[in-house]
Every structure is written in structure tokens, then in C-alpha cells.
Amino acid sequence: MNATIRACASLFKIRVAENLQYRAAAVAGASIGVFWVAINITVFTIFFTYGNILDRTVLTLPQVISYEWLGQVLFAMNYLNIDDMLRTKIVNGDIGVELCRPVDFYTYWFTQTSAGRIGGALWRMLLTLAVGILIPAPYGLALPASGAGFMLFLITATGSYLLCISYTMLITAVRLGITWGEGPVYMLALLGMVLGGGYLPLQLWPDFMQKFLLIQPFAGYMDIPLRLYIGSMSVSEALPAIGLQFFWIIVFLTAGKLLMTRKLKNIIVQGG
């Protein structure tokens, strides 16, 4: 256990420092994110201006615009995909070398994945956030609806990060048993993005789906933190939502750990 803790601490510092060096990649990623937000803002502006939705929508256009800006900030750190280094090792057979390490593999790979997210996303997050703040109203990022909402946003954004990593580790465990392609990985990642509000705020989905959308595991990925920031979720509603968020974190952690332990007992190393 001590060896695992020391190895994970060293790995975390090294990977964060390594990924912070890729500033050009961060600028490119931020540019793509800003362009994506610009397209979405254009679509939503037309939708809210000319669509017959004023009598049913629970979100205003400024709220949706802030949702989109912050959604890109969270996406920079919380993109749902296997860590590139782990994917390469799984594909070319170097995973066999990993199995020789005297550490707990799940904890070690969890640390590697989480460090890669932070180091690779910090510059992109800051650049995207800066552009969103500098763009004038009503097309820029607005201030949080309240101080309490902002504090709850920070708490749930941390939970969003943990939810993303735990789900990513479950996807990694699934990938260990696949020798014929990346299809299941992409489908699982797409499922999380769609149900997390990455493409459309969940409050703009049909009314009959709202209860399901709030209790399903991916609401805590983006939607719950963003609702708290823009003020479409009250403080009294936040506590059960945060409880659900951390419940699903525990579920994904447990499922990922059990599945990875099972897969590693029967893994077939191929490649070279």
C-alpha cells in the first residue's frame, strides 16, 4: 500500500508538470471550444428569438449562453475518454509491462488518468474562461446567480471531476477485454456526453423526461454544476442533487474496480 501511495504521488506530479508544457495544444483546444460555443450561441439565439417556447422554457437565453461557456470549461477537464498513454499500452501490448509494477493497478491508473486531465486541461480552461468573460453581454459568460450558488458550483464541479475519472476508469476496464476495436468505448463516452448536458442543457429536454434526467448518473457530469451557477436550481434542491452525484461516483468506482480486477485475471496481452 505504501509503495502504491508513493508511486501515485510521484506519477501525479510528473504527469501534471509534463502536460502543462503543451501550451500550443491548449491554445488549439481552446480555439475549438470557443468556436463550438459560438455555433451553439447562434443556434440558441435563433431558437429563443423565433421559436414558440416563451410559455414553457425554464431557462432564459443568457442562462443558456453561460451554460454553454462553462460547459466548455468543464469539458476541457472532464472529457470522457481513456487516457492516451493507457490506450496506447493496451493496444500495442505494453500493458504487460504495467502488470509487473508492484502497485494496485486501479489506483495507479486512476492517478495517471486524473493527472493527465488536470495538466492537459488547465491552460485550455483558463483561455476559454478568459474569452467567455471578455465577450460583452449578452453573449459572454455572466456572473453567477448568487454567492451560495457559486460555492455549490465549485463543490459540484469537484464532484464532476471525480465522476468523470471514475466513469473513465470503468470505460478503461471495459476496453481491457476488447480486441476488435474502439466502438464500445466511443459509445459509452457519447452516452455520458449526451446525458450529461454536453450537447443540450437537460432542462430543455421534454418535460416527461426531467425526473429521469436528474437522477441518472450523468446529470452530475455537467448539468448539476451548471444549473447551480446559472441559478436554475435552488440551494434546497442542490443538497439531494449533490448526494446523487457522489452516490454515482461510488457506484462507478466500485464497478470499475471490480471489473478491472476480474479482467486483469484473464487478460490476454497482444501486440508488440
Average pLDDT estimate for 23-34: 79
Over the stretch 61-85, which tens digit does the pLDDT of each residue have? Answer: 999 999 999 999 888 877 777 877 7
Cis peptide before 184 (omega within 30 of 0): no
Percent of the chain at pLDDT > 70 equals: 86
Residue 26 — very low, low, confident or very high, per pLDDT cuts 50/70/90?
A: confident
Higher pLDDT, residue 124 or 223:
223
Alpha-carbon torsion, ordered 200, 202, 203, 207, to 10 deg: 110
Q: Which three cell numbers stand for residue 202?
A: 437537460
Contact between residue 61 and residue 22 where contact means Cβ atoms under 8 Å apart: no
Residue 40 — very low, low, confident or very high, per pLDDT cuts 50/70/90?
A: very high
Q: What is the 3-state secondary structure (H, E, C) of 33-85?
A: HHHHHHHHHHHHHHHHHHCCCCCCCCCCHHHHHHHHHHHHHHHHHHCCCCCHH
Return the residue matching grid coordinates 426531467. Answer: 210
Residue 261 — very low, low, confident or very high, per pLDDT cuts 50/70/90?
A: confident
Q: By CB neighbour count within 10 A (0-12 exposed, 13-18 middle, 19+ buried), where does 169 fall?
A: buried
Over the stretch 129-178, which tens digit does the pLDDT of each residue have? Answer: 899 999 988 899 999 989 999 999 999 999 999 999 999 989 888 887 66
Residue 20 — very low, low, confident or very high, per pLDDT cuts 50/70/90?
A: low
Q: Kindly calculate the radius of gyration of the chain based on its CA atoms and give it in whole angstroms.
A: 20
Domain ranges of the chain: 2-265
pLDDT for 121 beyond 80: no
Return the residue matching grid coordinates 484473464. Answer: 266
pLDDT for 254 beyond 90: yes
* Chain centroid offset of residue 140 CA: 22
Q: How far, in Å, CA of 152 to CA of 65, rounded?
A: 20
Which pLDDT value is given to residue 112? 83
Q: What is the mean pLDDT of the chain?
A: 83
Backbone angles phi, psi at 152, to 5 degrees: -70, -35
pLDDT for 272 beyond 70: no
pTM here is: 0.87
Contact between residue 171 and residue 82 where contact means Cβ atoms under 8 Å apart: yes
Residue 23 — very low, low, confident or very high, per pLDDT cuts 50/70/90?
A: low
Contact between residue 50 and residue 138 where contact means Cβ atoms under 8 Å apart: no
